[in-house]
Amino acid sequence: MAGLFLYSCSTKQISSSGLSKVEKLDDVANFLTLVSDGEKEVTEACGLSAAEALTLMQPLHARLDEEIQTGKYLIIDKHLIDCEVNCHCGVYSDIAQNSQLKDDLYKKASTFPRKKLIACAQRTSQWVCKDPLFDALKREAEPASDAL
């Protein structure tokens, strides 16, 4: 019985559900940034090269901008604490309307410990490779060289 319990825990899937869309996109952005930087903790995930990760960042950027521009997100003081754990200080600062909050979030983002970013990216790597978003980004990514 204990063995069965342990088995079921070890195969539990980590998914992206429960995250807002913008947070999900930001997670992927953080993950791809670190892959493109060659961070060894995440480079093996998804079989992506650094160059490939960079090309996926462009359509991701477009999606993030689109989502932020919907205006449906409200950033409040609580996010200043939350972001230290979820690594979203940067995107929260992009969204925040209140200038003081924006500045405070930005300060956190600009000095955010890299170790924490890596830890967040490792969590993302557990689900991102199989997520439909990942396939969509690959389809949308354009080759840098002229294709005509």
Partner 1 sequence: MSFKKTLTATAALSFLLSSCSTYKPFNEPKLPLTAKLATPSVRAPSSSESEENLNTAFEMMMNSQEPEKEFLDYLSGLKSIFLRAESYLADFDSELDDAVAANSSVSFETSKSYKKLITMYTLSHRLKDKISYHYLRLTDMAYDKSLPSDKRKLAKSILSKFKKKLDSKDPIEKISFDELKLEIAQELRERKGLSTKSLSPAELPANNFKNDQEKLSTLRQYRKMMRAIGKVEADSGDELSQTVESITEKMQFVDATGREPQSELTFFPSTTSSGNVMGLVFPKGVWALTYDDGPNPTHTAAIVKNLDDLGIKATFFWLAQNVIRYQSTVDLVGEKGHARANHSWSHAQLPKLDATGLQKEIVQSTSIEQKSYGQPVQFFRCPYGAGNSVPRIRKMIADLKMIHVFWNVDTLDWQDKDPDSIVARSKKQMQAAGHGVVLFHDIHPQSVIASKKLVEWSKSFKGTPGEIRWVTLPEIVDEMNGAKK
Query: Footprint of partner 1 on this chain (CB under 8 A)?
Result: 29-30, 33, 36-38, 54, 57-59, 61-62, 65-66, 89-90, 93, 106, 109-112, 114, 140, 142-148
Amino acid type, 90? G
108-136 burial: b if 16+ Cβ within 10 Å, else e:
bbeebeeeebbebbeebbebbeebebbee
- Which lies closer to partner 1 via its Cβ, residue 37 or residue 131? 37
Other residues' Cβ atoms within 10 Å of the Cβ of residue 13: 7
- The distance of closest approach from Cβ of residue 54 to partner 1 in the complex, given in angstroms and rounded to an integer, is 5
**φ and ψ at residue 86, rounded to 5 degrees:** -95, 0
Using CA atoms, how far apart are residues 51 and 107, in angstroms rounded to an integer?
Answer: 29
- The distance of closest approach from Cβ of residue 131 to partner 1 in the complex, given in angstroms and rounded to an integer, is 18
- Which lies closer to partner 1 via its Cβ, residue 100 or residue 146? 146
Give the single-character DSSP code of 112: -
- Which lies closer to partner 1 via its Cβ, residue 93 or residue 124? 93
Task: Answer yes or no: are the C-beta atoms of 128 and 134 closer than 8 Å.
Answer: yes
- The distance of closest approach from Cβ of residue 64 to partner 1 in the complex, given in angstroms and rounded to an integer, is 8
- The distance of closest approach from Cβ of residue 17 to partner 1 in the complex, given in angstroms and rounded to an integer, is 23
- Which lies closer to partner 1 via its Cβ, residue 16 or residue 33? 33
- Which lies closer to partner 1 via its Cβ, residue 9 or residue 148? 148
- The distance of closest approach from Cβ of residue 66 to partner 1 in the complex, given in angstroms and rounded to an integer, is 8
